[in-house]
């Protein structure tokens, strides 16, 4: 049997121990890196007080801090396009390792950064710069991770593979949420402002270097190895080929990413801060609810990934999008009504249905052929995330003041309607797994 035939046969084998090891290492490394990227949002309130002039209105300082958070999303396309270009030409694994290294350094530096009281306006500018570097790193990490695991496992298990990686990424959010809850519970507000806010960033820097070490044990994907063996690697600019010949795939991927963005940014990342500012909920309860919801998200990702392999991506996306819209309305309507007794279970339900985001990567990896898969997926995902992820925090902050407490639920429901339309399109034009 030739090397090419061996690689092709490998893609049809049963899911085995080697696949489990690859998924475990990739998911753990992704969790550590994504923790580094999202922990920022859990400390938005304190960062807005420390990195802007003390006479700035609280709502404006928070909006400016959300803007710095959004800058990380706006920087994602740069890292994503560059890393995907080389990932399609020289290998998935190299870029998969580089991205996590680029994330760990700025996270560590944020934890060491002087505040406005110490260095004036240089403080928010340095915070912005480090956030941009984080965005560049995660722009290559997330698409590269999805492509990496999808091309490693048997074709019929791509849905679960992408979901397990997504579950790992969201576990990084859970780690950040748990640490934020612990800090807000065990440290007085004065100590959090003085030094305790730095702890998650310093830990994150160490996490990043651990992830770099873990990825040394991963191998190049069989799909890329086959392309290299057949000399079928993309020539020129892979992203140009993806845009020129796969426009419908780009559009579907970007629309699906819009729903993913709203689910993660609004339901998981912003809700702890929103319920404190809009509904005067204690920080400890807000972060406790977020921890439970994020744990349910981790489980939900795996459930929805299993459903993709069992029922297909389109049907799973359709049901999950409807469930996400209904559960988010239930959560925020409950809060608007002035009752918080059922906050944690309702947030847990919304967190579980947020697991529908695990369907999106399996749609995107199937949408592009292997020679341009990394570039096509990365371009679509990162451009959409830059636009929608970057605009969502300040937009939700503005809409919450303009139209009231249900604004976040209205926005999530709008994106779920888009997800339903994508699902109906895919039912008529199903995609093939890689």
With bands split at pLDDT 50, 70 and 90, how would you rate the model's confidence at 254?
Answer: very high
Buried b (16+ CB within 10 A) or exposed e, 17-27: eebeebbebbb
Distances (CA, A) of 381 to 1, 81, 261, 322, 325: 38, 10, 10, 22, 22
Q: Which of 354, 316, 320 is nearest to 430 (CA)?
A: 316
With bands split at pLDDT 50, 70 and 90, how would you rate the model's confidence at 2?
Answer: very low
Interatomic CA distance for residues 193 and 164, integer angstroms: 36
Interatomic CA distance for residues 123 and 113, integer angstroms: 7
Q: Which pair of structure tokens corresponds to residue 245?
A: 């010949």
Q: What is the pLDDT of residue 78?
A: 75
Interatomic CA distance for residues 14 and 153, integer angstroms: 9
The contacts of residue 143 (CB under 8 Å, 6+ apart) are 80, 84, 364, 374, 377, 378, 381, 382
Is the pLDDT assigned to residue 220 strictly greater than 80?
no
Q: Which pair of structure tokens corresponds to residue 5?
A: 């035939």
Q: Which pair of structure tokens corresponds to residue 157?
A: 């298990």
Three-class SS state of 12: coil
Average pLDDT over residues 303-313: 94
Is the pLDDT assigned to residue 9 strictly greater than 60?
no
Distances (CA, A) of 317 to 173, 364, 395, 417, 424: 22, 13, 25, 11, 9
Q: What is the pLDDT of residue 434?
A: 58
Average pLDDT, the chain: 82
With bands split at pLDDT 50, 70 and 90, how would you rate the model's confidence at 12?
Answer: low
Interatomic CA distance for residues 120 and 58, integer angstroms: 18
Greatest mean pLDDT among 326-330, 362-366, 372-376, 384-388 lies in: 326-330
Is the pLDDT assigned to residue 416 strictly greater than 60?
yes
Interatomic CA distance for residues 296 and 306, integer angstroms: 15
At the fourth CATH level, which superfamily is domain 18-428?
Answer: MFS general substrate transporter like domains (1.20.1250.20)
Q: What is the pLDDT of residue 61?
A: 67
Greatest mean pLDDT among 131-140, 157-166, 312-321 lies in: 312-321
Q: What is the pLDDT of residue 90?
A: 62
With bands split at pLDDT 50, 70 and 90, how would you rate the model's confidence at 361?
Answer: very high
Q: What is the pLDDT of residue 25?
A: 75
Q: What is the pLDDT of residue 236?
A: 61
Considering the entire predicted model, what is its pTM? 0.79
Greatest mean pLDDT among 18-27, 180-189, 353-362 lies in: 353-362
With bands split at pLDDT 50, 70 and 90, how would you rate the model's confidence at 165?
Answer: confident
Q: Which of 49, 271, 305 is nearest to 173 (CA)?
A: 271
Q: Domain spans of the chain?
A: 18-428
Is the pLDDT assigned to residue 223 strictly greater than 70?
no
């Amino acid at each position: 049997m030739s090397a090419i035939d061996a690689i092709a046969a490998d893609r049809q084998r049963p899911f085995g121990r080697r696949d489990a090891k690859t998924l475990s290492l990739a998911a753990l490394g992704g969790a550590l890196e994504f923790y580094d990227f999202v922990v920022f949002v859990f400390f938005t309130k304190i960062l807005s007080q420390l990195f802007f002039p003390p006479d700035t209105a609280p709502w404006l300082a928070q909006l400016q801090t959300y803007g710095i958070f959004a800058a990380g999303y706006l920087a994602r396309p740069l890292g994503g396009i560059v890393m995907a270009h080389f990932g399609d030409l020289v290998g998935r694994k190299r870029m998969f390792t580089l991205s996590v290294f680029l994330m760990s350094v700025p996270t560590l530096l944020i934890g060491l950064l002087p505040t406005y009281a110490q260095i004036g306006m240089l403080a928010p500018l340095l915070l912005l710069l480090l956030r941009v570097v984080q965005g560049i790193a995660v722009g290559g990490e997330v698409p590269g991770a999805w492509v990496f695991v999808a091309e490693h496992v048997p074709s019929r298990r791509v849905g679960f593979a992408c979901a397990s990686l997504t579950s790992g990424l969201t576990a990084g959010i859970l780690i950040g949420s748990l640490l934020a809850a612990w800090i807000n519970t065990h440290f007085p507000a004065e100590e959090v402002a003085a030094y305790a806010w730095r702890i998650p960033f310093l830990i994150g820097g160490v996490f990043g270097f651990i992830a770099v070490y873990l990825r040394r044990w991963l191998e190049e994907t069989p799909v890329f190895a086959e392309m290299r063996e057949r000399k079928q690697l993309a020539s020129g600019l892979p992203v140009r080929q993806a845009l020129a010949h796969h426009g419908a795939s780009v559009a579907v991927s970007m629309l699906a990413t819009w729903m993913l963005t709203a689910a993660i940014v609004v339901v998981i990342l912003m809700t702890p801060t929103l319920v404190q500012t809009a509904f005067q909920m204690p920080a400890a309860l807000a972060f406790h609810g977020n921890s439970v919801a994020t744990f349910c998200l981790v489980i939900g990702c795996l459930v929805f990934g299993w459903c993709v392999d069992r029922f297909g991506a389109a049907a799973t996306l359709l049901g999950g999008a409807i469930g996400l819209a209904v559960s988010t309305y239930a959560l925020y309507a409950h809060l608007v009504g002035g009752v918080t007794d059922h906050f944690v279970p309702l947030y847990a339900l919304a967190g579980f249905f947020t697991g529908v985001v695990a369907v999106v990567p399996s749609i995107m990896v199937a949408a592009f052929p292997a020679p341009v898969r990394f570039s096509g997926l990365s371009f679509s995902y990162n451009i959409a995330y830059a636009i929608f992820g970057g605009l969502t925090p300040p937009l939700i902050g503005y809409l919450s003041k303009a139209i009231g407490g249900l604004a976040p639920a209205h926005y999530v429901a709008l994106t779920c309607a888009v997800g339903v339309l994508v699902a109906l399109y895919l039912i008529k034009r199903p995609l093939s797994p890689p």
